[in-house]
């Protein structure tokens, strides 16, 4: 059964600090992994997409890594801002399937 | 904005009511989706439409009835819902059904069943 596990479930950090969110998956055959940001009361918005051959991809202060061997991904947020407060969802797609597997998300709160 | 618009943003309905959720996309996409998002749970795929044809019904109860009159519009008709159906309902669209295609989400309808 395809599964995506995210940790931690929630995280509180101070503005300006860095943080790293984790995603472990058991999706086969692997096609791609996306990180989405979901602000409270809004729909998810894609931050990055990574395929099997990519190890690192950045989008501004967001950097995603992928280790396809260990089936792990991380999302690193640098110099956090108040607007980074949101839920971050890891989504993994299997090859040949249009039904992705979603993680439960990590709720990030950035305090001033 | 993502180009996917959902209305209404909030809805409170009784268990005997009939209501409809609307989704509209202006991205020229061919595939549209309904998802349910409950607290502390991953997004649950409900229905998938591709070129107006339903390709997926993820064992959704018949009290939820989707309608896709064209590739730009998607409805979710609701009747005799239960309190446990209270959730955020998200619509999404994508260019096609390839596994690499990005889905663009609407802002959701927050549904409360009383």
Q: What is the pLDDT of residue A65?
A: 97
Query: Distance from first CA to last CA of chain B, Å, rounded?
Result: 31
Q: What is the pLDDT of residue A52?
A: 86
Question: Given CB atoms, is A98 within the 8 Å cutoff of chain B?
Answer: yes
**With the CA atoms of B103, A43, A53 and A98 taken in that order, what torsion angle do they form, in degrees rounded to the nearest 10?**
-40
Q: What is the pLDDT of residue B52?
A: 87
Q: What is the pLDDT of residue B98?
A: 83
Of the residues A5, A27, A33, A43, the best mutation for testing chain B's interface (the one with the most B CB atoms within 10 Å of its CB) is A43
Q: What is the pLDDT of residue A98?
A: 82
Q: How far apart are alpha carbons B47 and B45 in whole angstroms?
A: 6
Residues of chain A found within 8 Å of residue B106, distances taken between Cβ atoms: 43
Cβ atoms of B39 and B26 closer than 8 Å: no
Q: What is the pLDDT of residue B3?
A: 93
Q: What is the pLDDT of residue A23?
A: 98
Find the closest chain B residue to A94 by CA distance.
B99
Interface contact B42-A4, CB threshold 8 A: yes
Nearest C-alpha of chain B: how many angstroms from A37?
11
Tokens of A2: 């395809």
Q: Which residue among A32, A42, A105 sits closest to B99, beta carbon to beta carbon?
A: A32
Q: Which residue among B4, B56, B98 sits closest to A99, beta carbon to beta carbon?
A: B56
Q: pLDDT tens for residues B93-108?
A: 999 888 778 899 999 9
pLDDT beneath 70: ranges in chain A: none
Q: pLDDT tens for residues A30-50?
A: 999 999 999 998 999 999 999
Interstrand relation of A4-7 and A19-25 (parallel, antiparallel or unpaired): antiparallel
Q: Is A60 helix (H, G, I), strand (E, B) or coil?
A: coil
Find the closest chain A residue to B4 by CA distance.
A43
Distances (CA, A) of A32 to A55, B33, B96: 12, 19, 16
pLDDT beneath 50: ranges in chain B: none
DSSP A46: E
DSSP A61: T
Q: How far apart are alpha carbons B101 and A93 in whole angstroms?
A: 10
Residues of chain B found within 8 Å of residue A88, distances taken between Cβ atoms: none
């Amino acid at each position: 059964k395809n599964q995506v596990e995210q940790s931690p479930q929630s995280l509180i950090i101070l503005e300006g600090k860095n943080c790293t969110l984790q995603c472990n998956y058991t999706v086969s055959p692997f096609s791609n992994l996306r990180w989405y940001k979901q602000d409270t009361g809004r729909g998810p918005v894609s931050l990055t997409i990574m395929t099997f051959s990519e190890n690192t991809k950045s989008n501004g202060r967001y950097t995603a890594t992928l280790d396809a061997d260990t089936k792990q991904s991380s999302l690193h947020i640098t110099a956090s801002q108040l607007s980074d407060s949101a839920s971050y969802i890891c989504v993994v797609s299997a090859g040949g399937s249009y039904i992705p597997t979603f993680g439960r998300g990590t709720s990030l709160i950035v305090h001033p | 904005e993502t180009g996917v618009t959902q209305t209404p943003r909030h809805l409170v309905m009784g268990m005997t009511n009939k209501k409809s959720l609307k989704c509209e996309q202006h991205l020229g996409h061919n595939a549209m989706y309904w998802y349910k998002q409950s607290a502390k749970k991953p997004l649950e795929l409900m229905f998938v439409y591709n070129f107006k044809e339903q390709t997926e019904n993820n064992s959704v109860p018949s009290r939820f009835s989707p309608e896709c009159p064209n590739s730009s519009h998607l409805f979710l008709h609701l009747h005799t819902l239960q309190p446990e159906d209270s959730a955020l309902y998200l619509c999404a669209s994508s260019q096609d059904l390839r596994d690499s295609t990005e889905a663009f989400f609407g802002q959701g309808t927050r549904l409360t069943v009383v």
